[in-house]
Structure 1
Amino acid sequence: MKISINRLQDFIRLDQSPEEIADLLTGSGLEVEGLELFESIKGGLEAVVIGEVLTCEKHPNADRLSITTVDIGNETVPIVCGAPNVAKGQKVVVAKEGSTLFPISGEPFEIKKAKIRGEVSQGMICAEDEIGIGESHAGIMVLDTDLPNGTPAAEYFKVVRDHVLEIGLTPNRADAASHLGVARDLKALLKRETCLPSVEEFKVDNTSRTIPVEIESAEDCPRYAGLTISNIKVEPSPEWLQNYLKALDLEPINNIVDITNFILHDLGQPLHAFDADQISGNKIIVKKLSKDTPFTTLDDKKRKLSGEELMICDEKGGLCIAGIFGGKGSGVSENTTSIFLESAYFSPDVIRKGSQFHGLKTDASFRFERGTDPNMPVYALKRAAILIKEIAGGEISSEISDFYPNPVSDFEIEVSYANIHRLIGKEISKEEIKTTLENLDIRYIGETEKNFTVSVKPYRVDVTREADVIEEILRIHGFDKVVLSENLNSDYLAEHPSKDLNKLQYKLSEVLSGLGYYEIITNSLTKPAYAEKSGFLNPKNNVEILNKLSEDLGVMRQTLLFSGLEVLAHNINRRQKDLKLFEFGTTYQKASEGYQEEKKLALFLTGDKAAESWLEPSKPVSFPDLYATVELICEKLGIDNSEVEITHDGPFDYGLKIKLGTKELGKVGLVSEKLCKLAEVKQEVLYAELSWDLLGKKAKGLKKYNEISKFPEVRRDLSLVIDKEVSFDQIKKTALKAGGRLLQRIGVFDVYQGEKIETGKKAYALSFYLQDKEQTLTDKIIDKTMNRLIQSFEKEAGAFIRK
């Protein structure tokens, strides 16, 4: 769900930064998953100004070019221009040197100082398609303005900038599925009042077009309101409305449909507009139709009804699947002059069943099936009618018909102060409790020394029990303000079985065996010489055996490396040179006080990947083979926050150190030749040693399979030129942060270093796989995501994107 901060400020005064607002909301349970900058003109016309052409002469070396000097406020610059209409005295749009333009078609490009046919050019005089405001490329824009030279073009074109929050709304928070809903939480967090737009100016102009409403299924439609608006003009929406919708990733359609979408995202109340002339019999009937009745929806698909979905009908048949999707014949078109505007409260159950049966997930069904506010329909209807008259003209030609025979009552809940303190884990003052609840529109209606009773409005479908009220107090008070004691204990509603590390080890052993690894079990006693000659182990940390049987078994091992190398040497000496081994074992060393034991998982790779075959020649194992196994282990255990850094320490010639947060998980790399010789191994060995204690602690259990998404995955490729020092891990982190929930995975299909790129650089060819689990991705969303990735790579990794 996307929320515009510009629009949010129409409901509540905000003086915090977008980042601070995001943190506040996340802390209260509305997790902000992303924060984007929206600009009505891409790039915001940064470093693009109004200029005046002072001189204009023909280019001496090119017939179709002109040499101009342009006053851009603080300086006068020479610009070579190819437009046929450029002339002295014109006010023009100038992209200064260093600016980046985002044209209507094609890739963004940077304006650089250049020599064009021998003449210096320090900027560009722009056509409208070059700055992204129109399609024309016939010539440069000539402005009729008195604005001084050097004025930012963003000011002239009234560029709208907005920060947009992407909130991962949990299913229980249907009340927050709108700007008003988010503002209500901010009211409690910031202790400020919210304000709703006034509807006092609403008035009925006449009753010349009354359309009666009949409800046959009151259980499925507890409230239904509607009115008629005549003599409207359907046309594109004004810029402010289009920009609002575009900021929320919605495509403007026409002024009537755009207003219904505006109200939905503003107030959380879905509306539907019918072409009044298409309503047969001049009557609306809300009922269910028989099973297998054919119905064509707005997307031009012919569907068969289940008989369980609620339908909005006229005397001939269905006009709309209630709360889900409109019908093909009754929608608003450019020829529509009168509309019937619907605003209703439907039962969540009937909407959920209909949505699932037809596989239709719309903004309206998303809200209806979670529960909307039964007290909002008439207010939303008035607000929409005022906007329609303002934007599309027309007159309100009927009274509001409002079917609401059984008003939904507020919830009454009794709460114990003792239970608040017990469940939260700290004592909160009665004054703070009362203020917090009242700021959340939860009213006190009775109070004693030990208990109180509150009235909760029905739009809070998630607050029906004492525990729900306590959760509201805690999330506004702040989870981070509850100090955890050393003897923390919790009550759970569901069972949380303890993690069985032995079972986890057994299951992971099966996974590794399936990859062709053999398990080994080696002696915990080893040679003292290994630590003395290794160069990376401290001999002083050796745990010595008092009654040692021999010097070769005189100390406990500090690493699993040498006992594993001995196994490799034994097998290689017997002509078994292609080996994949793993071991779960314990390491021992002296600590500052006493001794330290840690269970490790070791992996060994040496020799060839597979036996020689006529199909393909044999290939030696490589570092990526072993690192892929380590990544698979983390993936299988549900650990996805690993970080890596290049390391040359430890037993390796080269390798990587893997971290989980601030703790080191282990190391992976090529064992140094010196250590291989120490254990009498005469071929290269790749080795990984991971902390099984840390893996076991962080593991979420072996990863389970998920249902394959119904919606297709999309692949996009990028070629990045970056500094040699920038690792793939840095690129991956940047991508995952910028790509958000749509980016499923990243692949590298080529790496290049050579003569074709400058010294000190390397090129990555990357594939990005995008997928939305709830809907098919549109080109607009894909392009927006990829542009966000490109901007992040350029800004955070200093990358150059190869076209």
Structure 2
Amino acid sequence: MKVAINRLKDFIPFDEDTDKIAELLTQSGLEVEGVERFESIPGGLRGVVIGEVMTCVPHPNADRLKVTTVDVGEEIVPIVCGAPNVDKGQKVVVATVGAELTPEGGEPFTIKKAKIRGEVSQGMICAEDELGLGQSHDGIMVLDTDLPNGTPASEYFDLEVGDVLEIGLTPNRADAASHLGVARDLKALLKKDVIMPDVSAFKVDNTSRSVEVEVESFKDCPRYAGLTISNIKVGSSPSWLQNYLKALGLEPINNVVDITNFILHDLGQPLHAFDLDQVANDKIIVKKLPKDTPFVTLDEKERKLTGEELMICDENHGLCIAGIFGGKGSGVSDQTTSIFLESAYFSPDVIRKGSQVHGIKTDASFRFERGTDPNMPLFALKRAAILIKEIAGGEVTSEVVDLYPVPVSDFEIDVKYAHIDRLIGKHIPKEMVKEILENLEIKVANESEEGFKAIVKPYRVDVTREADIIEEVLRIYGFENVLLSETYEAGFLAEHPAKDSNKLQYRTSELLSGMGFHEIMTNSLTKPSYAEKSGFLNVEENVEIYNKLSEDLGVMRQTLLFTGLEVLAHNINRRQKDLKLFEFGTAYFREEEGYREEKHLSLFLTGDKAAESWLEPSKPVGFSDLYTIVERLLDKLNIGLPNVEIIHEAPFEYALKLTLGEKEIGKVGVLSSKITKLVEVKQEVFFAELRWDYLLKKASGLKQYQEISKFPEVRRDLSLVIDKEVSFDTVKKVAEKAGGKLLNHIGVFDVYQGDKIDAGKKAYALSFYLQDNNKTLTDKIIDQSMSRLMKSFEKEIGALIRK
């Protein structure tokens, strides 16, 4: 939303500069997102002055040009001019060298010193369109003025120049969607009174063109006001009104429509003007029309009504979608001589619904659907009528219609002083609280030692509770004036939102897809023979189907393994041997008293890592490839690395059992050939099955971060010869215990098993990264740390340190 500083000063005079006003408004909740400089003529005619033609003679080398000398104040300069009306003694408008002009409908250009047909020219004598002042290009502008030569042209033309604030209006602050609304906040911030426009001059001239108004539902339209103005002349608006609209980013249309837009942005009250001669029998009816009634709006689009939108109609047809958009046939045109001027308060719900259904967003609907001031329609109507009579002529030819059977009541809110201090976190004197509220036009009544009753006018649709009153006090008092205490506390702790299992599953699927996996979905029904022949499934836990379609679909699966292997077999048999698959699915178990279901996640890897290429030879996938993927998956869920245990049990040839605490979360390994042959898969398959339900419980949306240390990291390498049975996880735990806080990370960059070391042994080449977040490590500290590590390896896992 845009607000012009110059117009704001008409409501509340102030001497503060634009930056200070922007700062005050931002601190109070009306965030100023930017400040623009508006100039009614682009460039502000800088470098353009009033000059006087001292001499004017024909150009020696061109028939249509003349050579002049022009007094521009500080000097007399030569200028070559092609205008037919230039002559000696004229007062003219001169663009001096360096001035930038923006011609009407053209691109900006800069005046430069030039030679035209051999004659020096140091400026340009301007026509109206060259200055952007109009369309005329018949000749140069000849002025009738006594202003001295060299006077800036901006002073002669009285150009409009001023700052415009771009305010990021939050949805709750509908009351601030106007210059008046912003001025009300400044009233409290600057402690100055708001000056309202004077409507005392309004009068009804006669009642020769009265209009009958009927409202069918005051629930949808609690207040409807209007009057007629006759004998008007529709035309262009005066420059002050056009400049006002241009500053706000609006294009002037005609004087009547421009005045309604002026009132909307000035007072926050949308108005609508109907061509009275297009209103059948001079009768206005506010009602809903039947579903599928066609209606052509001002943009010449035919829309089918839903039957729910509120319409402004005459006795024959619809004229306007109330509060949203006017109809094509009833709008003000150059031929209009009489108008019916509408000013209403519509229910926000009905306007919001109509705007959304038709996808129409206008300045009027923006305000109506958030809630306007029900006490403003009559004032705005009189203000607009006065301006129309001043600018477009005419006379008010009807009494003011104002249908308002049930006035909207003020909000009455009980407020406790103790609650103000508790929620703000600071004691604010009672007198200051009352002053702030009264400056915000919130009346303080029934005051006692404990509190008071706040009477809030209905245009403040966002202030209906005690907490809202306290927020009003705080934003004017100043958030920056409430200092943070040394300790933090909260009067209320909100419950953590429930985890969204669908979102977590989707994020996991995205991660796996990004690593080249394809998702599969298999049947929950499977063969009973898998449990009988696998050697690791309990046949007694099979959930049998009573009305089975076939023996191959006779039981519910206990694992995602076999249905996934069937997918592998299907693809491998069709020469698709390099596969990465995952599946979210349910496993089913029969128990003594009923049944149990578990959500699992399965991962399958088989074949080569990448397709064969001349760049590098193909390489088959390995156990570490799958385990790395599982680690990344757990990290994505913010679970952390699990404890691992090497196992040699079905369905695996070898595997790692993963646990968190005492709870098993899954297994990762290479499937035994006995298992893969059950499904006729003849290549090596790496498989992981994780208990997804349990992972969801452990998953956290909180990611832990820490500041990057400014002190350098140090790397040291060791080569250990250890028994084959000793896992890297064991080595890592010993290292973490001995290395303490200085040990950041451990890496394995080589593993050797062969005839150069003893049988039953393997060699690990390890890298250790040491770092202190508070200081640079010295050689002495590094050597002590490495010595501790070597002693721990020798003592706890019987390692031989290769030096």
> Does the C-alpha gap of structure 1 residues 563 and 94 become closer, same or farther in structure 2, counting only changes over 3 Å?
farther
> Does the C-alpha gap of structure 1 residues 491 and 96 become closer, same or farther in structure 2, counting only changes over 3 Å?
farther
Q: Which residue of 1 aligns with 2:791?
A: none
Q: Which residue of 1 aligns with 2:235?
A: 235
Distance 1:493 1:182 in 2: 34
1:254-403 to 2 correspondences below 5 Å? 254-403=254-403
The alignment partner of 2:10 has SS state of: coil
The answer to whether the 8 A contact 1:68-1:78 is kept is yes
Distance 1:493 1:163 in 2: 44
Q: Which residue of 1 aligns with 2:772?
A: 590
Q: Tell me how far 1:115 sits from its aligned partner.
A: 3.0
> Does the C-alpha gap of structure 1 residues 334 and 592 become closer, same or farther in structure 2, counting only changes over 3 Å?
same
Q: Tell me how far 1:56 sits from its aligned partner.
A: 2.0
Q: Tell me how far 1:497 sits from its aligned partner.
A: 5.9
Q: Which residue of 1 aligns with 2:452?
A: 452
> Does the C-alpha gap of structure 1 residues 287 and 100 become closer, same or farther in structure 2, counting only changes over 3 Å?
same
The answer to whether the 8 A contact 1:557-1:587 is kept is no
RMSD over equivalenced CA pairs, Å: 3.6
> Does the C-alpha gap of structure 1 residues 104 and 68 become closer, same or farther in structure 2, counting only changes over 3 Å?
same
Q: Tell me how far 1:307 sits from its aligned partner.
A: 0.5
> Could you tell me which amino acid in structure 2 is paired with residue 221 of structure 1?
C
Q: Which residue of 1 aligns with 2:205?
A: 205
Q: Tell me how far 1:202 sits from its aligned partner.
A: 1.1
Distance 1:460 1:398 in 2: 32
The alignment partner of 2:57 has SS state of: strand
> Could you tell me which amino acid in structure 1 is paired with residue 772 of structure 2?
K
> Does the C-alpha gap of structure 1 residues 81 and 428 become closer, same or farther in structure 2, counting only changes over 3 Å?
same
The answer to whether the 8 A contact 2:300-2:328 is kept is yes
> Does the C-alpha gap of structure 1 residues 444 and 112 become closer, same or farther in structure 2, counting only changes over 3 Å?
same
> Does the C-alpha gap of structure 1 residues 431 and 594 become closer, same or farther in structure 2, counting only changes over 3 Å?
farther
Distance 2:511 2:364 in 1: 49
Distance 2:143 2:514 in 1: 69
Q: Which residue of 1 aligns with 2:156?
A: 156
Per-residue deviation, residues 724-764 of structure 1 (Å, max 9, x unmatched): xxxxxxxxxxxxxxxxxxxxxxxxxxxxxxxxxxxxxxxxx
Q: Which residue of 2 aligns with 1:22?
A: 22
> Does the C-alpha gap of structure 1 residues 343 and 107 become closer, same or farther in structure 2, counting only changes over 3 Å?
same
> Does the C-alpha gap of structure 1 residues 478 and 151 become closer, same or farther in structure 2, counting only changes over 3 Å?
same
Distance 1:31 1:539 in 2: 37
Q: Tell me how far 1:168 sits from its aligned partner.
A: 1.3
Q: Tell me how far 1:496 sits from its aligned partner.
A: 5.6
Q: Which residue of 2 aligns with 1:672?
A: none
Per-residue deviation, residues 630-655 of structure 1 (Å, max 9, x unmatched): xxxxxxxxxxxxxxxxxxxxxxxxxx
Distance 2:91 2:33 in 1: 44
The alignment partner of 1:29 has SS state of: coil
The answer to whether the 8 A contact 1:556-1:588 is kept is no
Distance 1:42 1:152 in 2: 15
> Does the C-alpha gap of structure 1 residues 11 and 514 become closer, same or farther in structure 2, counting only changes over 3 Å?
farther
The answer to whether the 8 A contact 1:543-1:555 is kept is no
Q: Tell me how far 1:444 sits from its aligned partner.
A: 0.5
Distance 2:119 2:99 in 1: 20
1:290-689 to 2 correspondences below 5 Å? 290-490=290-490, 495=495, 513=515, 541=712, 588-592=770-774
Q: Tell me how far 1:80 sits from its aligned partner.
A: 2.3
The answer to whether the 8 A contact 1:438-1:444 is kept is yes
The answer to whether the 8 A contact 2:4-2:162 is kept is yes
Q: Tell me how far 1:446 sits from its aligned partner.
A: 1.3
> Could you tell me which amino acid in structure 1 is paired with residue 421 of structure 2?
H
Distance 2:489 2:114 in 1: 69
> Could you tell me which amino acid in structure 2 is paired with residue 301 of structure 1?
K
Determine whether 1:219 maps to 2:219: yes
Per-residue deviation, residues 214-247 of structure 1 (Å, max 9, x unmatched): 1111110111111111111111111111111111
> Does the C-alpha gap of structure 1 residues 547 and 448 become closer, same or farther in structure 2, counting only changes over 3 Å?
farther
> Does the C-alpha gap of structure 1 residues 310 and 499 become closer, same or farther in structure 2, counting only changes over 3 Å?
closer
Distance 1:266 1:90 in 2: 42
> Does the C-alpha gap of structure 1 residues 592 and 58 become closer, same or farther in structure 2, counting only changes over 3 Å?
same
> Could you tell me which amino acid in structure 2 is paired with residue 298 of structure 1?
L
Determine whether 1:124 maps to 2:124: yes
> Could you tell me which amino acid in structure 1 is paired with residue 360 of structure 2?
L
The answer to whether the 8 A contact 1:542-1:558 is kept is no
Q: Which moved more, 1:419-428 or 1:466-475?
A: 419-428
Distance 1:316 1:499 in 2: 57
The alignment partner of 1:43 has SS state of: coil
Q: Which residue of 2 aligns with 1:12?
A: 12
The alignment partner of 1:353 has SS state of: helix
Distance 1:175 1:538 in 2: 50
The alignment partner of 1:421 has SS state of: helix
> Does the C-alpha gap of structure 1 residues 593 and 315 become closer, same or farther in structure 2, counting only changes over 3 Å?
same
TM-score by length of 1: 0.65
The alignment partner of 2:95 has SS state of: strand
The alignment partner of 2:169 has SS state of: coil
Distance 1:285 1:539 in 2: 75
Q: Which residue of 2 aligns with 1:247?
A: 247
Q: Which moved more, 1:405-414 or 1:91-100?
A: 91-100
Per-residue deviation, residues 531-575 of structure 1 (Å, max 9, x unmatched): xxxxxx99995558799979xx999999999989x89xxxxxxxx
Q: Tell me how far 1:106 sits from its aligned partner.
A: 3.0
The answer to whether the 8 A contact 2:744-2:770 is kept is no
Distance 1:343 1:469 in 2: 30
The answer to whether the 8 A contact 1:217-1:288 is kept is no
Highest Rg: 1 or 2?
Answer: 2
Q: Tell me how far 1:152 sits from its aligned partner.
A: 0.7
Q: Which residue of 1 aligns with 2:92?
A: 92
Q: Which residue of 1 aligns with 2:601?
A: none
Q: Which residue of 1 aligns with 2:51?
A: 51
Query: What 5-or-longer segments of structure 2 have no aligned partner?
Result: 518-608, 611-624, 633-707, 722-734, 751-766, 779-803
Per-residue deviation, residues 687-716 of structure 1 (Å, max 9, x unmatched): xxxxxxxxxxxxxxxxxxxxxxxxxxxxxx
> Does the C-alpha gap of structure 1 residues 285 and 471 become closer, same or farther in structure 2, counting only changes over 3 Å?
same
Query: What 5-or-longer segments of structure 1 have no aligned partner?
Result: 523-536, 568-584, 597-803
> Could you tell me which amino acid in structure 1 is paired with residue 277 of structure 2?
D
Q: Tell me how far 1:595 sits from its aligned partner.
A: 7.9
Distance 1:151 1:539 in 2: 62
Distance 1:161 1:71 in 2: 27
The alignment partner of 1:590 has SS state of: coil
Q: Tell me how far 1:591 sits from its aligned partner.
A: 4.4
Q: Which residue of 1 aligns with 2:167?
A: 167
Distance 1:507 1:70 in 2: 78
Distance 1:14 1:421 in 2: 32
> Could you tell me which amino acid in structure 2 is paired with residue 315 of structure 1?
E
Q: Tell me how far 1:9 sits from its aligned partner.
A: 0.8
> Could you tell me which amino acid in structure 2 is paired with residue 278 of structure 1?
Q
Distance 2:184 2:312 in 1: 32
Per-residue deviation, residues 355-412 of structure 1 (Å, max 9, x unmatched): 1111111111111100000111111111111111111111111111111111111000
Q: Tell me how far 1:459 sits from its aligned partner.
A: 0.3
Q: Which residue of 1 aligns with 2:81?
A: 81
Distance 1:227 1:586 in 2: 87
The alignment partner of 1:195 has SS state of: coil
The alignment partner of 1:277 has SS state of: helix
The alignment partner of 1:52 has SS state of: strand
> Could you tell me which amino acid in structure 1 is paired with residue 372 of structure 2?
T
Count of aligned residue pairs for this structure pair: 562
Q: Which moved more, 1:100-109 or 1:5-14?
A: 100-109
Per-residue deviation, residues 417-445 of structure 1 (Å, max 9, x unmatched): 11111111111111111111000000001
Distance 1:352 1:116 in 2: 63
> Does the C-alpha gap of structure 1 residues 494 and 243 become closer, same or farther in structure 2, counting only changes over 3 Å?
farther
